[in-house]
Chain A
Amino acid sequence: MRTFDYTAAASIDEALAALKEYGDEAEFIAGGTSLILLMQQGLVQPAKVIGLGNIKELRGIKRTADGGLEVGAMTTHRQLETSPEAFAYAAALPQSLGVIATIRIRNQATLGGNLVHADPAQDPPPVLIALDATVDVVKAGGGARAIPMEAFFTDFFETVLGDNELVRSVKIPPMPSGSRLAYKKFLPRTADDYATVSVAVRLGVDADGRCKDIRIGLGALAVTPLRAKAVESALLGQKLTEQSIKDAAALVRDVVDPLDDVRGSAGYKREMARVWTERTIASLAGVKAKA
């Protein structure tokens, strides 16, 4: 590995100033679970590594006044997995963090690092898309912007973040009354693998059994995480039955654009996207899945 300078930034301003000074030669390090691997492989060779671990503003999980949840970028997966605040928000949220890799990695990897790394097979993005989360980004010299989770990723390993920006937190709005969340990760190989496909659904059903709220996030099914709007629109306002769920889930095939890899061919993943979308919606609707 190439030698590099390390600075632990004490504040967001200090981190952004260091980033500006070193430009392309600098990388932020959060948990380091991805960056260090890329550095060991020699694929990324920064001259300057800026540590974010000492910045207090990037830490913490708190409920917001409106009943939402705000998670600091440097929160580890394990902290969110075991957070009473996250559990009180929606039990499936901390549970979805519990299926990431292994406990050692979850103790190290952070939510902000996970999002910025922008690997499309990661678990938090589809869950956060389903929860309508926004990424709170701070700019150098002041100013901030909120980016909807589904608009954050642009390509494999690429996000909309500018080279003078840093992720401060993730903001999740209050859960609509009566809605629930589920996350399913299809792991045909080993328990600590990346998902072959993954599906997160937030679903609300009214007293007549009609769908009144639905958001669907997908992982590992394209070069970025995706939102399955076509499936959502097909079900919103409709009665949730075995058949309506099956028909709507079939539309996911045209939403995804999977890559062939060791976890399956593009055709197989497209079919698994349909199966797991159907199962995830059905599990929340209390309906038996046909698939």
Chain B
Amino acid sequence: MKFEQTIDLPGVSPERVWAFVMDVPSMAKCIPGSEGVEDLGNNRYKAVVKIKVGPIGLALASEISIVAKDEANRTASLLVEAADKRVGGAVKATMSMTLTPAGDGSKLEVSTDANVMGRIGDFGQPIIRKKADQTLQEVGENLRKALATTTSRP
């Protein structure tokens, strides 16, 4: 399942966005339902992401690795491997992001390729896609808010 998302961040310099996004614990705060982020070292992180769809609650134990990081071109790719032991299902996603200047601010483009395995897949792709789209929108909103409140001081 592929997702493309563009997040416009007017008034925020690419330098600041890059620093924020590459700091996984601060970025994780923008992901709804994420808890207990741990730095495992070596560009690897651990977190639990809780997702609820009606009576169905998933607790995805996730491992996030920054597999490539090119600061000069401001591109990075991440590997996310998440599993819910109770329900029995897993998600494996690769995310590539490109950050470019846009007007007085920045534009963050994220493309995600996710595989949903096991019982989580029983939900049906249309619902998963809708839910994932909603979540990505929220991440974009939260990122905008987080960067707006941590305005650079002179």
Contacts and interface: CB of A to CB of B under 8 A. Distances in A.
B56 to A, nearest CB: 5
B87 A261 contact: no
B53 A42 contact: no
A44 B55 contact: yes
A73 interface: no
A22 interface: no
Greatest chain B CB density within 10 A among A38, A41, A42 is at A42
A187 B69 CA distance: 51
Contact of A259 (B56, B88, B130): B130
A43 B131 contact: no
A27 B126 contact: no
Contact of B119 (A24, A42, A157): A42
A9 to B, nearest CB: 18
Interface in A258-278: 259-261
A196 interface: no
A135 interface: no
Given A43-B119, A43-B123, A261-B124, A158 B53 contact: yes
Contacts of A261: 124-126
Interface string A14-39: 00000000001001000000010010
Sorting the interface of chain A by its residue count into under 10, 10 to 19, 20 to 34 or 35 or more gives 10 to 19
Given A45-B86, A45-B87, A156-B131, A259 B54 contact: no
B87 A157 contact: no
A117 B86 CA distance: 22
Interface string A138-173: 000000000000000000111000000000000000
A259 B55 contact: no
A118 interface: yes
A27 B124 contact: no
Contacts of A24: 57
Contacts of B87: 42-43, 45
B55 A35 contact: yes
B53 A38 contact: no
A223 interface: yes
Contacts of B126: 259-261
A38 B88 CA distance: 13
Contacts of B88: 42
Nearest to A156: B127
Interface in A102-119: 117-118
Given A42-B88, A45-B86, A157 B55 contact: yes
Interface of A: 24, 27, 35, 38, 41-45, 117-118, 156-158, 223, 259-261
Interface of B: 53-57, 86-88, 119, 122-127, 129-131
Given A157-B54, A157-B56, 14 more contacts: A24-B57, A27-B55, A41-B119, A41-B122, A43-B87, A43-B123, A45-B87, A118-B54, A156-B131, A259-B130, A260-B126, A260-B129, A261-B125, A261-B126
27 contacts: A24-B57, A27-B55, A38-B55, A38-B56, A41-B119, A42-B88, A42-B119, A43-B87, A43-B119, A43-B122, A43-B123, A44-B55, A44-B56, A45-B86, A45-B87, A117-B54, A118-B54, A156-B53, A156-B130, A157-B53, A157-B55, A157-B56, A158-B54, A223-B130, A259-B126, A260-B129, A261-B124
